[in-house]
């Protein structure tokens, strides 16, 4: 169901619902009125279109979702009808570009191959019309990676965004009561930031636009944690690689402040390994409390010792962040130790 008055077909809120108007245009106008960026979600697959289930991919990426709405029977492919669907698909994408969005977040490419979708062709046509627009989920032609519902163990090398829901469902599912706790959301958020990613947190509004109280409570609590630790959140980037600190970390844009996230209450000290850069001071975000610190061990100028930071007396309810002010740009030792 198109949320705008699409001319590519008759399945839209403007033609088929009591709304009888362009809801997408109202959304764009509202976002622009508040000087916010505009992003659109658009599903490649369209189980409502009669020409969509006319092809099969060479490999079923998700065999458990095979249905007559998405795939035709083997041997029943109809290339001419698939081309007709692609013309419809491209026409709708072209209509959306007319709203001048800043981002197009595509989805649902798994039922077809790259050669069937012709994603490179699609990307080129989009960027010819809107060269500064960000695009995702165009198979191998996206601007960033979008892992979903599961935090990557090893973060992608380039730009990425974790797509996550407060419970287990996208959209409003009142029977789904498996809400993630605020502590879990803060932890996931911090680990995402530490890996250089962004968190897209999905909530499901009811049909009247209101939200379940559990969603509202989680958003307020997460927002409050972010406000207490905003210095570590805004303008920071990927932190220490795994093994240097037992928890996520973020690095300031100038590389001179390291933010250590303590997911659990520190006992006695917080340790950082492999830090070549000298430390000028350590403080607790949110309280400003200064913490003692010292370096233990090491081997000359080659192998640095371990930085031990005194555990703070007061900790954050969900996760405590320590700001480590460096005497220069971060320099890490990644060797295997001295073998004399």
Q: What is the pLDDT of residues 287-312, one digit of tens each?
A: 999 999 999 999 887 899 999 999 99
Tens digit of each residue's pLDDT (9 = 90 or more) over 72-90:
999 999 999 999 999 999 9
Q: Which of 276, 194, 202 is nearest to 238 (CA)?
A: 194
This prediction's pTM: 0.91
Give φ, ψ of 109 to 5 degrees.
-90, -5
pLDDT value, residue 244: 96
Tens digit of each residue's pLDDT (9 = 90 or more) over 312-328:
999 999 999 999 999 99
Beta-bridge partner residues of 134: 103
- Which of helix, strand or coil describes residue 56? coil
| Token reading at 40 | 């659109």
- Which of helix, strand or coil describes residue 219? helix
- Which of helix, strand or coil describes residue 250? strand
| Token reading at 296 | 């233990």
Instruction: Report the distance separating Cα 255 and Cα 276, nearest Å.
Output: 13
| Token reading at 146 | 């979008």
Name residue, tokens 């007396």.
Answer: 313
Read off the pLDDT band of 118 (50, 70, 90): very high
Tell me the average pLDDT of the chain: 95
Res. 339: pLDDT tops 80: no
Instruction: Report the distance separating Cα 7 and Cα 11, nearest Å.
Output: 9
DSSP E strands, 182-254: 198-202, 236-238, 249-252
User: How far lies 130's CA from each of 135, 218, 314, in Å?
Assistant: 10, 36, 50
Compute how many other C-beta atoms are within 10 angstroms of the C-beta atom of residue 169.
14
């Amino acid at each position: 169901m198109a949320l705008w008055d699409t001319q590519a077909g008759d399945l839209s809120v403007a033609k088929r619902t009591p709304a009888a108007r362009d809801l997408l245009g109202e959304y764009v106008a509202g976002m622009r009125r508040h000087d916010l960026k505009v992003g659109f979600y658009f599903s490649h697959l369209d189980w409502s279109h009669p020409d969509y289930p006319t092809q099969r991919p060479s490999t079923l990426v998700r065999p458990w979702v095979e249905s007559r709405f998405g795939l035709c029977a083997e041997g029943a492919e109809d290339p001419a009808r698939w081309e007709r669907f692609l013309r419809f698909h491209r026409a709708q994408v072209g209509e959306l570009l007319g709203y001048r969005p800043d981002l197009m977040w595509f989805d649902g490419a798994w039922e077809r191959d790259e050669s069937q979708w012709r994603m490179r062709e699609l990307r080129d046509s989009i960027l010819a019309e809107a060269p500064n627009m960000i695009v995702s989920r165009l198979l191998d032609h996206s601007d960033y990676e979008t892992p979903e519902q599961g935090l990557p163990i090893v973060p992608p090398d380039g730009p990425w965004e974790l797509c996550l829901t407060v419970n287990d469902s996208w959209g409003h599912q009142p029977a789904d009561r498996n809400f993630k706790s605020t502590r879990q959301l803060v932890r996931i958020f911090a680990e995402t930031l530490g890996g250089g990613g962004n968190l897209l947190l999905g909530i499901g509004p009811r049909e009247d636009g209101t939200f379940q109280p559990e969603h509202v409570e989680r958003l307020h609590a997460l927002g409050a944690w972010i406000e207490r630790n905003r210095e570590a959140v805004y303008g920071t980037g990927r932190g220490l690689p795994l093994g240097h600190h037992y928890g996520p970390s973020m690095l300031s844009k100038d590389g001179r402040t390291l933010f250590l996230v303590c997911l659990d209450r520190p006992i006695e000290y917080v340790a950082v390994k492999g830090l070549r850069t000298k430390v000028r001071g350590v403080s607790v975000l949110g309280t400003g409390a200064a913490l003692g610190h010292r370096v233990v061990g090491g081997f000359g100028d080659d192998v640095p010792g371990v930085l031990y930071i005194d555990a703070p007396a007061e900790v954050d309810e969900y996760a405590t962040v320590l700001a480590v002010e460096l005497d220069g740009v971060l320099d890490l030792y990644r060797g295997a130790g001295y073998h004399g």
